[in-house]
Amino acid sequence: MNYKYVLFFFPILACFSVKAQIETKEIFHYIFPEFTSGVVLMKDGTKNQALLNYNAATEEMTFDQKGQKLAFTDLTLNQLDTVFIQDRKFVLLDNKKFAELIHQDGYKLFVQYKCRVIPPGKPAPYGGTSQTSSATSYSSWIGDGRIYQLKLPDDFKVNSTVVYWLDNGAGLKSFSSMGQLKKFYGKQKVIYNQYTKEHKVDFKDRESIADLVYYMETNPQ
């Protein structure tokens, strides 16, 4: 079932998906626990206020319009510059995916949020569960728009991941693990090892990674 519609959103025509709402517990696949007042800056300088959130499962910026959860689509994204939510800044990388800008002095560091939603599988023989039915369930949630609701049922699971993007003048590069980050700073192996030995670095903690990258970028060998 297709839930795409068209209406005027901001100064341009946009498409969106109607999101069904059902009773759920607090299992989130959004960056913020609630839709939060923010500002959408367009390329022509127009600023629009809206209740905003980011859906890490579908990797879409979404907004709340009178209780409906709606997603930005290409027609809007093509004319969009920046999204501000609270004191955080989100931009489009390669005009495709949103990422949060977490450092921009001397170099730019972005974090892209992703997650995989795993619905419960149906019981299978010998006490197992069917992964096929789980995948089918997920497809149905995508198809009918329920994946856009703010909270998921308590029998769902959310596996979150992050990808960091760094632009330090040598082009935009990404890393999705500590091993890839260490390889990126291969010529600074000594100070990298020293920092990670003295500091606990959590890859999913954006501030932790930002501190490490700052140290590496400001202490070249």
Q: So where are the chain's domains?
A: 117-158
pLDDT in tens, 112-151: 999 888 877 655 555 455 544 444 444 555 545 666 777 7
> What average pLDDT does the chain have?
80
DSSP H helices, the chain, are: 74-77, 131-144, 178-184, 189-198, 206-218
Supply 141's token pair: 């949630």
- If you average pLDDT over residues 35-63, what whole number do you get? 94
Q: What is the pTM of this model?
A: 0.77
DSSP H helices, 30-184, are: 74-77, 131-144, 178-184
φ, ψ of residue 32 to 5 degrees: the values are -105, 145
pLDDT in tens, 172-215: 999 999 999 999 999 999 999 999 999 999 999 999 999 999 99
